[in-house]
């Protein structure tokens, strides 16, 4: 019997981080001490009070039943309380909040609710790859909006062709941004809202990194801006904020019709998040946020060591005020892939080549602040010995 994969699978590029893992494994097999600055997976542990909450919830047999696909009411109410306290945004837990199995899941499923064959998503590029692949799985196409340094890594909506904007159903944006670590202000979000209203486009804002910020900077929510809830939805995750990447818990909030459409898809493809994990999520959202402040302090120290070190070895890099990523230009004469390969093979350092996030990422590479200070110092020392 010949097994033939579907065309949508054949069209998939190799998943970026899977390929990085493969290359890393080859180097490790050779006995190299690898410093992995590639994937944004926090090395810091989940705070103890959240773990204790999960332990207690797991002991309760009532949590072992099927959960609601849209999430426990108590969790959605906790999300609404957190949004009100953090951003000043009021949400109806019943109609404007849906629980996700991590924000990636919600982002991947949203186009199934709103994209028909031949429709377009506008996707900022470089970007988290799921925006594009999710659109493709839904039968749509992506029109990429390049993020350029000279435009502060914000998409230039004024230059989207009229015929493209007219076909677009979704606009994917992400601030604070992965991979560039760029941030957006209210003025930019107002432009996004005006664009969405002009062309009847649903805005999908991936806000996974709003709680990782430094130097007194506090990222805003897209939903803080007047009119945002009328045109869009915002995705959040507990993964990076509370070091819960493996727990798979997130949420989407915003326009009730968009939230409902995502919920319809979810009711047909998954059975929700384990209730014990949602109870732990309530603890995370409702408790003191001192653990988040402590995380940011640790990442800030790492950021300073890494950025200062990169500058000393001659790289052109800016110090980010949010996310736990550093986005650096490659040295003259190198492509993104060539420089990432050099670092891996000659220095045992894993970084993510910028072009892995899209064509507009060429000329850059991304480093994650997810190893301790001593390993970052070692990485910088190794880079200083390379001739580039």
- Torsion over CA: 186, 191, 197, 201 (sign): negative
For the chain, what is the mean pLDDT?
95
Query: Are 173 and 155 in contact, with CB atoms under 8 Å apart?
Result: yes
pLDDT of residue 30: 83
In tens, the pLDDT along 149-161 reads 999 999 999 999 9
Q: Is the peptide bond before 280 cis (omega within 30 degrees of 0)?
A: no
In tens, the pLDDT along 63-72 reads 999 998 788 9
Higher pLDDT among residues 109 and 10, named by residue: 109
CA dihedral 310, 314, 316, 317 (to 10 degrees): 10
- For residues 246 and 43, what is the distance between their CA atoms, to the nearest angstrom? 12
Average pLDDT over residues 309-322: 97
In tens, the pLDDT along 237-263 reads 999 999 999 999 999 999 999 999 999
Q: Supply 357's token pair.
A: 């996030």
Residue 227's pLDDT band (boundaries 50, 70, 90)? Answer: very high
Residue 102's pLDDT band (boundaries 50, 70, 90)? Answer: very high
pLDDT of residue 17: 65
- Say whether pLDDT at 144 is over 70: yes
Query: Are 159 and 153 in contact, with CB atoms under 8 Å apart?
Result: no
Average pLDDT over residues 200-222: 98
Q: How many percent of the chain have pLDDT more than 70?
A: 99
- Say whether pLDDT at 179 is over 80: yes
pLDDT of residue 16: 64
pLDDT of residue 213: 98
Query: Are 187 and 215 in contact, with CB atoms under 8 Å apart?
Result: no
pLDDT of residue 291: 98
In tens, the pLDDT along 364-383 reads 999 999 999 999 999 999 99
Q: How many percent of the chain have pLDDT more than 90?
A: 90
- For residues 63 and 250, what is the distance between their CA atoms, to the nearest angstrom? 18
Predicted TM-score (pTM) of this structure: 0.95
Residue 9's pLDDT band (boundaries 50, 70, 90)? Answer: confident
Question: How many helices and strands in the chain, by DSSP H and E?
Answer: 14, 12
| 52-56, 303-307, 340-344: least confidently modelled range | 340-344
Residue 162's pLDDT band (boundaries 50, 70, 90)? Answer: very high
CA dihedral 57, 63, 64, 66 (to 10 degrees): -150
Task: Provide the pairing of β-strand 97-100 with 35-36.
Answer: unpaired
pLDDT of residue 15: 65
| Domains, the chain, ordered by start | 7-45+290-384 (3.90.1150.10), 48-286 (3.40.640.10)
Query: Are 184 and 225 in contact, with CB atoms under 8 Å apart?
Result: no
**Helix 336-347 to helix 373-384 angle, to the nearest 10 degrees?**
100
């Amino acid at each position: 019997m010949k097994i033939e994969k579907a065309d949508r699978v054949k069209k998939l590029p190799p998943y970026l981080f899977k390929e990085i893992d493969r290359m890393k494994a080859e180097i490790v097999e050779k006995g190299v001490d690898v410093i992995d600055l590639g994937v944004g997976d926090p090395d810091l542990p989940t705070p103890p009070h959240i773990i204790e909450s999960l332990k207690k919830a797991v002991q309760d047999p009532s949590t072992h039943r099927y959960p609601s696909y849209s999430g426990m009411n108590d969790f959605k109410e906790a999300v609404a309380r957190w949004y009100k306290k953090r951003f000043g945004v009021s949400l109806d837990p019943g109609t404007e909040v849906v629980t996700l199995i991590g924000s990636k899941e919600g982002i991947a499923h949203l186009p199934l609710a709103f994209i028909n064959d031949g429709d377009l998503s506008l996707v900022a590029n470089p970007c988290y790859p799921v925006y594009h692949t999710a659109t493709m799985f839904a039968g749509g196409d992506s029109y990429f909006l390049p993020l350029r340094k000279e435009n502060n890594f914000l998409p230039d909506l004024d230059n989207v062709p009229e015929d493209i904007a007219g076909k677009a159903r979704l606009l994917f944006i992400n601030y604070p941004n992965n991979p560039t670590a760029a941030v957006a202000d209210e003025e930019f979000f107002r432009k996004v809202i005006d664009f969405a209203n002009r062309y009847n486009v649903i805005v999908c804002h991936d806000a996974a990194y709003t709680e990782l910020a430094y130097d007194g900077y506090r990222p805003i929510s897209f939903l803080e801006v007047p009119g945002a809830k009328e045109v869009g939805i915002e995705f959040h995750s507990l993964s990076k904020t509370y070091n819960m990447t493996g727990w798979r818990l997130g949420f989407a909030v915003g326009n009730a019709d968009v939230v409902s459409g995502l919920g319809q898809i979810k009711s047909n493809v998954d059975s929700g998040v384990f209730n014990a994990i949602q109870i732990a999520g309530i603890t995370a959202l409702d408790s003191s946020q001192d653990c988040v402040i402590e995380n940011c302090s640790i990442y800030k120290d790492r950021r300073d060591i890494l950025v200062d070190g990169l500058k000393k070895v001659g790289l052109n890099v800016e110090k980010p005020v949010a996310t736990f990523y550093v986005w650096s230009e490659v040295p003259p004469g190198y492509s993104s892939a060539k420089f990432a390969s050099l670092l891996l093979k000659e220095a045992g350092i894993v970084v993510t080549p910028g072009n892995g996030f899209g064509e507009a990422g060429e000329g850059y590479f991304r480093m994650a602040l997810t190893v301790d200070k001593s390993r970052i110092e070692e990485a910088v020392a190794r880079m200083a010995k390379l001739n580039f």
